[in-house]
Amino acid sequence: MALLPPEDVLRPLADAVERLRADRSGPAVGLRWASPKSWHITLAFLGEVPAGVRPALARALARVAAEYPPAPVTISGGGRFGSRVLFAAVDERPLAPLARAVAQAARQAGADGLDPRERRGHLTLATHRPSPHRPSPHRQGRRTDAPAPAPAPADQPNLAVLVDSLAGVSARPWTATGFALMSSGSPPGPPYATTATWPLAG
């Protein structure tokens, strides 16, 4: 479940991200950047939803949408989840009641794959997944219980530096007028597809 900011709202952020991406030898080395066309703000991650649950889920989400009004969205600055995710920060306060209602409705409808972790408003910009270590031929005899060598720092992105670079970057002011149910896509198609949308009408 997600909010989908319009392209014109995201343009200042997209321009700033493009400048970061262009420096291939700098702190962004090794990152996998999300396409701006797939950018979204997650309200709740439902996991795999069984086909038999989907009609009840749709009805529950429609009731939530009818009860909640459009919500102001502020996207400003950056943050990171450890060394693996770079994101644009989203002001959680106006969205928290809607996010809680969406999660509760989904749970009551039978979607039991909800992510149990505490939600933090964000828009994912890039991810980093270190390649598994592959020992060179002359190391094949190394003891199996010996620790693998640490990745070379030159091969790692410096997310802290990138977060600092995003400190003065903001998207344009925007009011979310609806939310969407999204599903993961498969290559070579887009990473996400919008399955259904509901207007906020409270």
Contact 172, 9 (CB under 8 A): yes
* Per-residue pLDDT tens over the stretch 155-165: 567 899 999 99
Residues with Cβ within 8 Å of 102's Cβ and at least 6 positions away in sequence, in order, are 1, 43, 44, 61, 64, 179
Residue 30 DSSP code: T
Higher pLDDT, 43 or 142: 43
Would you state the pLDDT for residue 132?
52
Mean pLDDT value across residues 87-102: 95
Instruction: List the domains of the chain with CATH numbers.
Output: 2-129+154-199 (3.90.1140.10)
pLDDT bracket for residue 105 (50, 70, 90)? very high
Q: Could you tell me which of 11, 10, 20 has the C-alpha nearest to residue 163? A: 20
The pLDDT of 49-56, averaged and rounded, is 89
Among the listed residues 10, 17, 126, the one whose alpha carbon sits nearest the alpha carbon of residue 73: 10
On whether the CB atoms of residues 78 and 120 are closer than 8 A, the answer is no
Peptide bond into 135 cis (omega under 30): no
Q: Determine the average pLDDT of the residues in 62-73.
A: 98
Q: What is the pTM of this model?
A: 0.81
For the annotated catalytic residues, the residue numbers are 40, 122
| Six token digits for residue 161 | 């530096």
Q: What per-residue confidence (pLDDT) applies to 72? A: 97
The amino acid at 77:
G
Backbone angles phi, psi at 76, to 5 degrees: -155, 135
pLDDT band at 116 (very low <50, low <70, confident <90, very high): confident
CA dihedral 41, 45, 46, 48 (to 10 degrees): 100
